[in-house]
Each structure stands twice: as C-alpha cells, then as structure tokens.
Structure 1
Amino acid sequence: MTVTQSFVDLSTATGTMRCSVVRPTLEGAFPTVIFYSEIFQITTPIARTAAYLAGHGYVVIVPEVFHELNPIGTVLAYDDAGKDKGNKDKFTKPLTDHDTDIEAIVSWLDQQKFCNGSLGSFGVCLGGHLACRSALNPRVQAAACLYATDIHSSTMPAGTKPQTIKQLASISGELMFVWGRQDPHVPLDGRKLLYSTLNDVEANFTWHEFNGQHAFMRDEGERYDPELATLCHRLTLDLFHRTLR
C-alpha cells in the first residue's frame, strides 16, 4: 500500500524530540512500530526502510535518537566525521534517557486515531539495542533487534537503571535477534554471552545468524547484501504480522 510521511515534535523528559511518522494512506487504525536508527539518525536508507515497513500496514515512528545532543533535523553522514560524532553521542546519552523517550512516544500514539494500540519495535546497530531496551516497556509486544551493539559489552552509560543485559528477565514481549557473523562490533564471544543470558532468564526469543558484515541491511555502501536484507525484512514482517495483528 502507499504511504505518507510527516513529522511530529514530542516533548520528552530531556527536551524536544523530532520523529518521522510514516503510515499507510488508507483510512483506519494500524499497529505501530518504533524504528530506532543507527547512530547517524534519520538518513535516507533509514527513511526508505521506514517507508518499506509502513507499506506493509504499519504506522512507523522514527525518533531522532540523539535529540538532546544535536539541533532538530540533524543527519550525520556515513563518513569518519559522522561516525565519530555519532559514537560520541552514543556514549554520552544514558540509556535511561532513551527509556523516557519511549514513554513520550507511547503517550503520543495513544492519542492518534490511526494507531490501534498494538506496538512493536525495530532497530539496526545502536537501534537494535534500543529496540531490545524498549521491550522493557510493557506496551512493546515484539522487538526485532538487528546486529544490536553494546548489549553484550554494557559499554553505553546506563543512567539510573541497570544495563540492558541485566534486565532481560523483565521483558515479556517476543524478541528476535539477527546477527552477521563477520560483524566486528558483536564478536562470537559477545553473541554467546547474550544468547546464554536470554536462555538463563527464559526469554521468549528467536535467534538468526548469517554470513554478513555489520550494517548488511543498509542499502547504501559496500557492505549491503540485498539477498540477506530481503530475508531479514521477511523475518521482521513475519514477527510483526504474528504478534501485532
């Protein structure tokens, strides 16, 4: 189905957060998915992925993940300068500020006639971590976490609450993890630690590993693997079709 895009500025505990809202043009109420981006914020590949997902019948909300640390509308380039700035922001913003961001999103979507109340999350790289973390909110019924960084290493500042890996037992929704075996950001030992922890706490999750590099879903740059991306999009849609409808 065709989609329409707009922007909304939400008040959060740490300031104004701009979000892209992509939704079907058809009238009606649809499930909502919060799509967490990489450290570069809402780039053109992220915007295209949001439109792709929305076209399958979802309201997709894409927040500017570092809204406190940048002017509204900031998009970082896929270059060394953008990477350095994005990583600096990642290690500056505490996870608890991301927690309050989702509270603002949930409050907003509950007031929208085009949202039916069902909620999932989806993210890549940093966003994969945030998608997992968002599932600590009981409203999130399912989370698709693609090559999620820093969960295994607990290297992001936690703030006033424990690191994400320490709270996995509190997640009641279904989790899906997707990894590239050639991803240096989440090596085998890190994946083993997270997999073991999920089993120890009896989480409801599925686990997929592929021969791919970090960011193999991003349809820009030399690491893009279209065949793997198509397969992982299908896994994500299957998860949301099953859990949110």
Structure 2
Amino acid sequence: MTMPELTIQAPDGGSFSSYLALPAKTPAPAILVIQEIFGVNQVMRDTCDWLAREGYVACCPDIFWRIEPGIDITDKTDEEWKRAFELFQAFDVDKGIEDLKATLTALRSHDASTGKVGSVGYCLGGKLAYLMATRSDVDASVGYYGVGLDELMGEAGKISKPLMLHIPTEDGFVPKEAQAKVHATLDDNPQVTLHDYQGNDHAFAREGGQHYDPKAAEQANRRSLDFFKQHLS
C-alpha cells in the first residue's frame, strides 16, 4: 500500500491537495472520502487506509483549502472544536461540491482506478455525500450522521444512484424532527437505504471519539462495505 498525495485542479482556478491510499491490487474501484469538520486529519487518513486495505483506491480531498489549506485538527480540545465550528460556518457548500466533483473526475481517470467511484462522508461530509448523490454522477454514496439534511430534502428528487445513510437516533446535532423529515422524504425512495442506530449519538463511528460505539461502528462499516461491493464492482 502506498500513500501519495493527489493534487486536484479546482474548476474555478487554483488547486488543492488530497490524501490518497492505494490498494495492493489495481486497477480498483475508488472511494471519495469526505472529511469531518476537523480537516484531513489522522481519522480521515486512517479511513482511507482502511478502505485501501479493503481493496479500494481511497482519496480524501482538502475541502477547506479555500479557507485555509492543510487543516489537520482533532476533537480533543475546546480550542480545536472552536476552530472546527469556525471552519464549518465559513465553508461554502456549493463550492465544496464543485471541488468534490473535480476530485470525482480525477479519480475516474486515475491510473489505479477502474472508473467506478463511490463517496463516503462523515458529519459535514455526510451532508456532502448526500449532495453528491443529488448533484453529481457518483456511482454510490454513503453518509454517516450527516448534518442539516432536513434542509436539503427538496433535492431528493434528483437522486439517481444508490445512497445509504447511517442515522444515530440520539444525534446531538440532528434533532428528532429533522430525522423524521429525512425518513418521511426518503423512506420510499428505491435508491435510498436508511439505517437507524438506536441510542447512538453523533460520530458513533469515529474511533477514539467521545461517542464511539465499536459495535455500532462495526455494523455501519460492514453495511457500507457490502453496499460499495454491490454498486462499485
């Protein structure tokens, strides 16, 4: 396994870096890993490495580059949380999706890729994974505890490729009424699979995080791998 960086050309000029993990055997399907609010940090790099071990080309682009390139913080201190929320507030979602689509294009044509590309995102990235399903031709998307999805249900009619969402029922950032709106809109959509995790809080799959639940994380990750195997092979 090698971990080079991949530089992506932004559609409106400039470029940004991404962490790239390659599987032992290529060409392979690719997965676009969409960061949380802490940047391309060790958790995101570990996620890419895990997916590479599972046989995928995995790439996590620096979507905060327009604010400040190279953000790499943790969830361990109040100061880092404060910075993370500042970045979240400053982040331009529409520009971010354009940058993710540029990364998608780069992965489709990468020498190590078969051309099949999925996306997986966490927290802010979970929101963006949903938007990749509505605004791009990505082959399959998975969102973990996406925030603000209830405000984006007007785009649900644009979902044309498979989408899976992992929803913790006790998400401190996603009220019950917001979860209910997502279910009401998406439950009957044949392209969408929703999984609820009873009693789990936001970021239950973030290893080392305050709300990490190994059992729920393992279940969600297994579902995600099975989903990608089905739709990216």
Structure 1 length as normaliser, TM-score? 0.88
Q: Is the 8 A contact 1:169 1:203 kept in 2?
A: no
Query: Conserved in 2, the CA contact under 8 Å of 1:138 and 1:171?
Result: no
Which one is further off, 219-228 or 231-240?
219-228
Task: Specify the code of the residue in structure 2 equivalent to 1:217.
Answer: A
For residues 210-235 of structure 1, the C-alpha deviation after alignment (integer angstroms, 9 at most, x for no partner) is 12111111111332111111111100
Match of 1:77 among 71, 74, 79: 74
Unaligned 5+ runs, structure 2: none
Distance 1:14 1:228 in 2: 41
Residue of structure 2 in register with 1:124 after alignment: 122
Contact 2:22 2:52 in 1 (8 A): yes
Taking the TM superposition and a 5 Å limit, the aligned residue runs for 1:1-245 are 3-12=1-10, 13=12, 15-26=14-25, 28-71=26-69, 73-78=70-75, 79-152=77-150, 154=151, 164-199=152-187, 202=189, 204-210=191-197, 211-245=199-233
Structure holding more helix per residue: 2
Q: Is the 8 A contact 2:108 2:117 kept in 1?
A: no
Distance 2:191 2:13 in 1: 32
Kept in 2, the 8 Å contact 1:119–1:139? The answer is no
Partner AA of 2:196 in structure 1: E
Aligned residue for 1:135, secondary structure, equals helix
Aligned CA-pair RMSD: 1.7
Q: Is the 8 A contact 2:203 2:209 kept in 1?
A: no
Structure 1 residue runs of 5 or longer lacking an equivalent are 155-163
Question: Identity across aligned pairs (percent)?
Answer: 27
Amino acid at match of 1:109: L
CA contact (8 A) 2:61 2:100 kept: no
CA 1:14/1:85 → structure 2, altered by over 3 Å: closer, same or farther?
A: farther
2:133 and 2:4 map into 1 onto residues whose CA distance is 25
How many residues matched?
A: 230
Aligned residue for 1:119, secondary structure, equals strand
Deviation of 1:138 (Å): 4.0
Stretches of 4+ moved more than 6 A in 1? none
The TM-score, its normalising length taken from structure 2, stands at 0.92
- Verify the 8 A CA contact 1:171 1:203 in the aligned structure 2: no
